[in-house]
Chains A and B, each alone.
Chain A
Amino acid sequence: MTEGSSIVPEALGKGVCPGDVLMALPETGVVRIGGGVQQDGEQLVATKAGLLQQARNGKLWVEARQKRYIPSPEDVVVGRIIDKHSENYGVDIGAPFRALLPVLAFEGATKRNRPQLQVGDLVYARVESAHRDLEPVLSCMDAAGKASGFAHLKGGMVFEVSTTHARSLLSRPPAAVLSALGRSLQFEMAVGQNGRVWVDAPSAATVVLVANTVQSSEFLTPQQQEQLVAALLKGSGAAAVQRQQQERQQQLEQQQQQQAEGKS
């Protein structure tokens, strides 16, 4: 019995082109495949150009840089409401179809207690079902019925990146650009796997800085991302303001310590 995860194709981590044979199917066992890989008789063949990846459960898929989002269940997305109906909202998530978000798919929502969402509002939601011929269905609750971060996004700014870059922003450990920014700036961010990223911060300058940095960092190595962030922070007012705030806080703490020592 062979499990998918124990079979490692040669081309793992390398670039493949459509038509490349990835591996021969084993005689028995289960092989899980994802996007960009297809079964062709007794072989697995790539159908997209990109890097061959393998998930922890052995799923083989090809990662290609693309902007068009193809929804799949359990993805998290940032959507924009474009329609309001009695039973559900029509949501634009950048997919080939408009998605549906049931009005009751919010924690604590009942027919009497509906969420107050307007056309043009942003929501952070989870794709519940995404058959390729039907409209995807979203939910603002996790499987257990809790909100766990899914909600109406208020304020802030949203910008677009490719789906690949969005996935790297969501990975653990986080992308270098995010950790570098997070060290010096305070901001809130919601990354959708559909390539949309929402950012909010106390000052507009910080939001603009974060948005532009994340957008420009897609093709940089982690070291380059650090350098980019360092260069931008040097010249920007947003970081200066935050540094001043941090310094003031430190001074306050020091004073308090001294007072405490002085007393004792």
Chain B
Amino acid sequence: MAGAFAALQRDADAALSNNERDFILKALKEGQRIDGRAPFELRPARFQFALDDSSCTVLLGRTRVMAVVTATLDAPYADRHAEGSLRFNVEFSPMASPAFEPGRPGEDAIEVARLVERGMRESRAVDLESLVVLAGRKVWHLRVDLHVLDHQGNLIDACGLAALAALMAFRRPDVTVGGGDDGQAITVHSPEVREPRPLSLHHLPLPITFALWEDGELMVVDPSLKEEAAAAGRFTVTQNAFGELCALQKVDGCGLTPPQLMRCVRMATQKVEELTGLIRKALEAHEVARVQARIRRQPGAAGPAAAALGGAALGGRAVTVLRSDQLQPAVAAAGKGGGGAVALDLDALPDSVRSMLQQAAAQPDGAASMSEDESGSSSSEEEEESELEGDEGQEGEAESSSGAEEEGDAAEGDAEMQQIADALAAAQQPQQQQQQQDAAAAGRQQAAPASGERSAKPGSKKRRGAATKEGLEDELAAIADMIASAGGAPVGDDSGGLAAAVKKQRSKQSGTGGGSRGKPPRRS
């Protein structure tokens, strides 16, 4: 006996035959779905992020939705002085389904937009107060445009996923307030000058939709197009991974009893955890790709070698290994060429050379170290920061399970600052060592093993000259360590002799050099 409620009369219904409708129900009673999934199985979700962090395309099975986030700086709304704003707009593109007409969004599009908005805005997922630049005068207004590109069922979940993933990947331009006539001039920095900042998200809400039959007795998660059309009712739960309910949506169609509703909510918790995990993984992979894209754009980048480092940059520099007798001419050439970096076996160097290196490094804009112009040096900062974010990505793998889930993403902003501070401290040594190497840059480029070693250490990249004055001894120690560890691997084509020479020199001080990891070398 069919339920008291008529079947949902939507456009998609007209396209479904009686046979299909009956078969879907019959198969569900045997626990079978027409695409072969289990009743509570989601379709595979895939994410593609744009390299400029402005958009994310989500594929939920064959349903495809693209979310684009834009931020504009403007006056706040009159009733919300100390907050930015967040708006959602959903467009059903006619290429997504024959049922979609171009023009203004229809009822269905507006329903989806309202649902996604309710889930995110009313649960305060995005920290709007952090979007304030000048209280009462200038705040960031965020706008998320969701474009439905292919409709194969369950647009609500796909739009919610896309919106969340895009907001998590989004980076807004960095802003400084200060200077100008009244000390309140706002400078918006372009991404090349200053690393853009991520949004602060307290938690990650996601909608999960259920299709219902038989007055709620039969339900499936993530309905496909035909299942949606054949369903007697539909129910959406928006939750975050902690099981906190953000929104519920139940409109027309067959009803649900309270126990069935609780069943849906419990099921949704599991699914949201699954999906949140997937988003995080996709974002981590995206971080790596972002940093790689930046490396390739830097001048003098050694393509394959640097790109093969998987995100931990050398600041776009390749690594060269020289014998000590090649050092003098190399240092001389460094002033002109710049473009390669050098890994040195400093313990084998005569003291005179070492002191010369120290001098060269001590000059802030000296020899080859920062042989770039401002854009280069500012890009180094940017690289450094993107580096650090890449680090956070790596460290984040370990942390995310503990830190983020305990504190929730509310603390993400603070956690990031902490991580940045840690990474900076830890990275000081290798950075300065890189600095030194630039000072003695040479023409030849080899690289993988030594650079491979250094990629294991966080953030070995250039820094401004100001850093060189600190702890040169430590730098040299770090370089020595690095050479010691790198020297084990063959260095390159014509370097059979080189590797041997380096090893020979090191074996001379085998007593001290080999065991000197982390300890300063003998002082001169």
Residues of A participating in the B interface, judged by any CB pair closer than 8 Å: 80, 82, 118, 120-122, 153-158, 198, 203-205, 207-209, 211-212
Contacts and interface: CB of A to CB of B under 8 A. Distances in A.
Interface stretch (B20-28, B77-85, B238-246, B455-463): B20-28
A204 B19 contact: no
Contact of B20 (A118, A157, A212): A157
Contact of B34 (A82, A154, A203, A208): A208
A204 B35 contact: no
B14 interface: yes
B121 to A, nearest CB: 39
B19 A154 contact: yes
Contacts of A80: 17
- Closest 4 A-B residue pairs measured CB to CB? A204-B27, A120-B18, A157-B23, A80-B17
Contacts of A208: 27, 32-36
Nearest to B26: A204
A122 B18 CA distance: 8
B36 A158 contact: no
Contacts, number: 50
B19 A205 contact: no
Contacts of A205: 27, 30, 32
B30 to A, nearest CB: 5
Given A203-B30, A208-B27, A212-B35, A155 B14 contact: no
B16 interface: yes
Nearest to A209: B36
Contacts of B34: 157, 208, 211
Interface of B: 14, 16-23, 26-27, 30, 32-36
Interface centre among A154, A198, A204, A209 (most CB of B within 10 A): A204
B99 to A, nearest CB: 14
A158 B18 contact: no
Nearest to A196: B17
Given A157-B23, A204-B26, A204-B30, A121 B18 contact: yes
Interface centre among B14, B19, B20, B35 (most CB of A within 10 A): B19
A122 B30 contact: no
A173 B33 CA distance: 31
Given A121-B17, A157-B19, A212 B36 contact: yes
A122 B32 contact: no
Given A205-B32, A212-B36, A120 B16 contact: yes
A158 B22 contact: no
B18 to A, nearest CB: 4
Given A204-B23, A207-B23, A208-B36, A158 B30 contact: no
22 contacts: A80-B17, A118-B18, A120-B16, A120-B21, A121-B19, A122-B17, A154-B19, A156-B19, A156-B23, A204-B23, A204-B26, A204-B27, A204-B32, A205-B27, A207-B23, A207-B27, A208-B32, A208-B34, A208-B36, A209-B36, A211-B34, A212-B35
Nearest to B30: A204
Contacts of A154: 19
B17 A158 contact: yes
Nearest to A78: B17
Nearest to A155: B19
B155 to A, nearest CB: 20
A208 B22 CA distance: 14
B17 A155 contact: no
Given A204-B27, A208-B27, 20 more contacts: A118-B18, A120-B21, A121-B18, A121-B19, A122-B17, A122-B18, A153-B19, A154-B19, A155-B22, A155-B23, A157-B19, A157-B20, A157-B27, A158-B20, A198-B19, A204-B30, A204-B32, A205-B30, A207-B27, A208-B35
A226 to B, nearest CB: 20
Interface centre among B26, B30, B36 (most CB of A within 10 A): B36
Contacts of B35: 208, 212
Contacts of A82: 14
Contacts of B22: 155
A82 B35 CA distance: 25
A157 B17 CA distance: 9
A122 B22 CA distance: 12
Contacts of A198: 19
Nearest to B18: A120
Interface centre among A121, A153, A157, A212 (most CB of B within 10 A): A157
Contacts of A118: 18
A211 B32 CA distance: 13
Interface centre among B17, B21, B26 (most CB of A within 10 A): B17
Nearest to A154: B19
Nearest to A120: B18
Contacts of A209: 36
Contacts of A211: 34
B410 to A, nearest CB: 44
A205 B32 CA distance: 6
A204 B35 CA distance: 12
Contact of A122 (B14, B19, B36): B19
